Structure 1
Amino acid sequence: MEKISEWLTTVVGSAPAWAVYTAVFVVLFSETAVLVCGLIMPSEAVLIAAGVAAAIGQPNIFVLIVLAIVGALCGDLTGFLLGRRSGPRVENSWAGRKFGPEYWDGAARRVRRNLFVTVPVGRWLGYVRTVVPITAGMSGVNMRKYALATFIGGATWATSVLVLAYVLGATAGARLIGVLVIGLVVAGCLLVVTRAIRHQLDRRRHDTSEPPARAEPEAAEPEAAAAVTVDARETPAN
Structure 2
Amino acid sequence: MVPISALDSTLNDVLSHTGAVLFYLLIWGLVFAGTALFLGVFIPFITGDSLLFGSGLVAASTGNINIVILVIGTGIAAFLGDQVGFLLGRHYGRGYLERHGGRRTQAAIIKTESFYRKFGWWSVVIARFMPWARVFVPVVAGVGRMNYYKFLTSNLLGALSWGVGLTLTGYYAATIPGVKSAAYIIAGVLITASIVVGFRTWRIDRAQRKADATARDLEISPPVG
Q: What's the TM-score, normalizing by structure 1?
A: 0.66
2:214 maps to which residue? none
Is the contact between residue 112 and residue 141 of structure 1 (CA under 8 Å) also seen in structure 2? no
Instruction: State which of 2, 15, 18 in structure 1 corresponds to 2:21.
Output: 18
1:153 aligns with 2:146: no
Is the contact between residue 32 and residue 77 of structure 2 (CA under 8 Å) also seen in structure 1? yes
1:60 maps to which residue? 66
1:97 aligns with 2:122: no
If you compute each CA radius of gyration, which structure gives the higher value, 1 or 2?
A: 1
1:104 offset after TM fit, Å?
Answer: 1.5
The secondary structure found in structure 2 opposite 1:166 is helix
Higher relative CO (Cα under 8 Å, sequence separation at least 6) belongs to 2
Unaligned runs of 5+ in 1: 1-13, 201-238
Q: Percent of aligned pairs with the same residue?
A: 23
Distance 2:40 2:119 in 1: 26
Distance 2:81 2:39 in 1: 13
Distance 1:131 1:63 in 2: 28
Closer/same/farther in 2, CA of residues 174 and 89 from structure 1, 3 Å limit: farther
2:85 maps to which residue? 79
1:31 aligns with 2:37: no
Closer/same/farther in 2, CA of residues 183 and 69 from structure 1, 3 Å limit: closer
1:136 offset after TM fit, Å?
Answer: 0.9
Is the contact between residue 90 and residue 96 of structure 1 (CA under 8 Å) also seen in structure 2? no
Is the contact between residue 38 and residue 127 of structure 1 (CA under 8 Å) also seen in structure 2? yes
Distance 1:123 1:37 in 2: 12
Distance 2:56 2:75 in 1: 14
Using the TM superposition, name which of 177-186 and 47-56 deviates more: 177-186
1:177 offset after TM fit, Å?
Answer: 4.0
Using the TM superposition, name which of 134-143 and 33-42 deviates more: 33-42
**How many residues in Structure 1 have an aligned counterpart in Structure 2?**
186
Q: Deviations over 1:178-201 (max 9, x none)?
A: 2354356557766857x96xxx9x
Distance 1:100 1:181 in 2: 28
1:83 offset after TM fit, Å?
Answer: 1.0
Using the TM superposition, name which of 145-154 and 106-115 deviates more: 106-115
1:132 offset after TM fit, Å?
Answer: 0.9
Distance 1:22 1:161 in 2: 18
RMSD of Structure 2 on Structure 1 (CA): 3.1
1:137 offset after TM fit, Å?
Answer: 0.8
Using the TM superposition, name which of 33-42 and 151-160 deviates more: 33-42
Is the contact between residue 119 and residue 150 of structure 1 (CA under 8 Å) also seen in structure 2? yes
Unaligned runs of 5+ in 2: 1-15, 209-225
Letter in 2 for 1:27: L
1:117 aligns with 2:119: no
Within 5 Å, give how 1:77-226 maps onto structure 2.
77-93=83-99, 95-97=100-102, 99-170=104-175, 171=177, 172-173=179-180, 175-183=182-190, 185-186=192-193
Letter in 2 for 1:178: I
Distance 2:192 2:161 in 1: 24
2:223 maps to which residue? none
